[in-house]
Structure 1
Amino acid sequence: MSKRIRIFTTEDVAEHSSPSSCWVSRNGKVYDVTGFLPDHPGGDDLILNYAGKDVGEIMKDPLEHDHSDSAYDMLEECAIGRLGTSETIVREDWVPEDSFEPEDTDLAADYEKNQFLDLRKPLLRQVWEANWTKSYYLQQVHQPRHMPESPRLFGPAYLEVFTRTAWYVVPVVWLPIASYLFARSLVQFTVGNNALPLFSVNPSAPLKLLMAVGIPASSIVKTTLCFAFGNLVWTILEYIFHRFLFHIDNLLPDHPAGLTLHFLLHGVHHYLPMDR
């Protein structure tokens, strides 16, 4: 997959509005004209007045100065990327109604318009090799898309099996583990912490002791309270991780590795919220 042209947002361009870093845009392209400032025939002040802004209209305004074809050719030599679309699929304050049914995304049209992720191809490699800025990534990843079937994350079938889980697999795996830990806690509250060997030494010890000794009601109450407290603590921790770690966008590195990690841990949840 070849590198795509660097994609910026208007906010990216607006941040470069000084003599030391002067960007402008025209017809959807972004130009770094910092090195051209001293050579501009009309002086650098004329360009700096429009630093971080679109110069399409002013460059063809005869009252200011109607630029020649050679001027536009020189401008093209300063091109560093293009502006991504600023259109959004949903507003930030949008709240779905109870009867809401998501529409399937037109995959070809979505990619042609946004040049973000082609949902017809594996996603992870696209994120790693993409050439967006962080601001454009964050803008697009928070615009939800919907597909009737899950898109491919890795590509090869032998890897895709690790990205999809039937609902019943979760209780099949975790209920035995939770039940075993619950039983171990019952025994420890009954006969003491040191009465049980390590799991690696004798994993069946809690079950044998449960059958050998009676479990008083106090042990059941204590274990149940600990279980409930653990659920409460995890709920709070999960909220803190989600709200104050995954959403600290200003600390997210503007680097493919940082964006890829964010996409895997959290971004895909916003980008494909109805994924199965």
Structure 2
Amino acid sequence: MSPSRTLPTFLRAELAKHNTNKSCYVSIGTRVFDVTDFIYSHPGGGELVLEYGGKDVTEILKDDASHFHSDAAYEVLEESFIGFVATEKVERTTAKDSLRDESETSNEDSTNRRSVYSATGMSSAEDLSKETDLAADYQQHKFLDLNKPLLMQMWFGGFSKEFYLEQVHRPRHYKGGESAPLFGNFLEPLSKTPWWVIPTIWLPPVTYGTYIAREGCSSVLEEAAYWFLGLFLWTLVEYFLHRFLFHLDKFLPDNRAALTLHFLLHGIHHYLPMDKLRLVMPPTLFLALATPFWKLAHTVFYWNWHIATAVFCGGIFGYICYDLTHYFLHHKTLPAYWRELKKYHLQHHFMDYENGFGVTSRFWDVIFGTQLAPPPKKV
């Protein structure tokens, strides 16, 4: 029986009305898809999905310059298939053939075009947002059940270091793009940090610290020089923290305390990279990490407390930029420079987590030889 006899047919004018975050449809050729649930988990940002709401997306799906779409993207669409556009092609088009014909892709071609990276089990950024079947994932891997609080599973799981590192770097996507339970009790809200909390909490003390640091500097120019020195030093701190603390994989002790701490510090981000509320650093954790740097700044620049404070404030401003950039790279549509940086950072997640440690810049990756290789091109 033809699919057109069991699924609704939409007029183009009717399709065009579904272009909001409450009801967002797109078409590929003659097929219609309800992508409302995918708006806020799309790697390119929800704005990009809404931009094409009610429209045909055949060309944008094929435009690698804008954003490469892997087979996973088409699989996500397949699950959202709801009907047909009212044209003569409806009667002679099957669901699978239409999607592949209109997008000029096939299983054979996609096998040749993209490799699946053994370290992550993924092939592109689109895979990061392909919803995980929670029950099937746990049954297959016997790692963490995303339906239950994760912390106690980590602590009592008895995982070996080798198994843990293999699993935590194979990204999952929690149902609906929500946050998986971590504590499962009243502490749960403390584990979630919206991105806007970062500038709200840290910009006022940075501004005040910069203001009082002026008193001990000979001029505004001197203070600015030390402040920007702190900002520059942050870029190096960012690289070393990401490479040697967050990815302390090879030197990680093989015991449950070390593995659980690693999971809380950064492992959970690689395990659930599109979790919006566990992407920026919680204020309490940042305060614990920032305190030693406060002492270090005043030890290195011991001769002038105000200069040390200016350096520290520049560094903290760099951190604010880092955390916001990190969030936007995962969840927003960005201008050209950041769009390339987004592709680079998401490669770190889906392709090679042992390289590509720069988030706000590739500079130190180039200097230290940890730059990510470009993904294979289409053939």
Larger Rg: 1
Question: Among residues 114, 139, 158, which one is paired with 2:141 in the alignment?
Answer: 114
Secondary structure in structure 2 of the residue aligned to 1:251: coil
8 Å contact kept, 1:143–1:270? yes
Q: Could you say if the C-alpha distance between residues 160 and 239 of structure 1 is closer, same or farther in structure 2, counting changes exceeding 3 Å? A: same
Question: Among residues 125, 131, 136, which one is paired with 2:152 in the alignment?
Answer: 125
Question: Among residues 129, 147, 155, which one is paired with 1:102 in the alignment?
Answer: 129
Q: 5 Å matches for 1:54-93? A: 90-92=117-119
AA aligned opposite 2:217 = F
CA displacement, residues 49-101 of structure 1 (integer Å, 9 cap, x when unaligned):
xxxxxxxxxxxxxxxxxxxxxxxxxxxxxxxxxxxxxxxx853486636x776
Whole-Å separation in 1 of the counterparts to 2:196 and 2:245: 30
Q: Does 1:169 align with 2:197?
A: yes
Whole-Å separation in 1 of the counterparts to 2:275 and 2:163: 22
AA aligned opposite 2:205 = I
AA aligned opposite 1:132 = F
Consecutive unaligned residues of structure 1, counting only runs of 5 or more, are 1-88, 191-218
8 Å contact kept, 1:107–1:119? yes
8 Å contact kept, 2:128–2:273? no
Q: Could you say if the C-alpha distance between residues 95 and 235 of structure 1 is closer, same or farther in structure 2, counting changes exceeding 3 Å? A: farther
Whole-Å separation in 2 of the counterparts to 1:173 and 1:161: 17
Match of residue 273 from structure 1? 273
Match of residue 179 from structure 2? 150
Q: 5 Å matches for 1:36-51? A: none
Whole-Å separation in 1 of the counterparts to 2:238 and 2:260: 21
CA displacement, residues 185-229 of structure 1 (integer Å, 9 cap, x when unaligned):
112215xxxxxxxxxxxxxxxxxxxxxxxxxxxx22222222221
CA displacement, residues 248-271 of structure 1 (integer Å, 9 cap, x when unaligned):
423211111111011111211211
Across the aligned residues of Structure 1 and Structure 2, the Cα RMSD in angstroms comes to 2.1
Whole-Å separation in 2 of the counterparts to 1:248 and 1:165: 24
Q: Could you say if the C-alpha distance between residues 236 and 256 of structure 1 is closer, same or farther in structure 2, counting changes exceeding 3 Å? A: same
Shift of 1:275: 1.1
Shift of 1:144: 0.4
Shift of 1:173: 0.9
Q: 5 Å matches for 1:212-223? A: 219-223=219-223
Q: Does 1:184 align with 2:194?
A: no
Match of residue 166 from structure 2? 139
Whole-Å separation in 2 of the counterparts to 1:174 and 1:270: 25
AA aligned opposite 2:158 = N
Match of residue 264 from structure 1? 264
Q: Could you say if the C-alpha distance between residues 258 and 275 of structure 1 is closer, same or farther in structure 2, counting changes exceeding 3 Å? A: same
Shift of 1:138: 0.6
Match of residue 51 from structure 1? none
Q: Could you say if the C-alpha distance between residues 243 and 95 of structure 1 is closer, same or farther in structure 2, counting changes exceeding 3 Å? A: farther
Identity %: 47
8 Å contact kept, 1:152–1:160? yes
Alignment length (residue pairs): 158
Whole-Å separation in 2 of the counterparts to 1:108 and 1:268: 19
Whole-Å separation in 2 of the counterparts to 1:255 and 1:228: 41
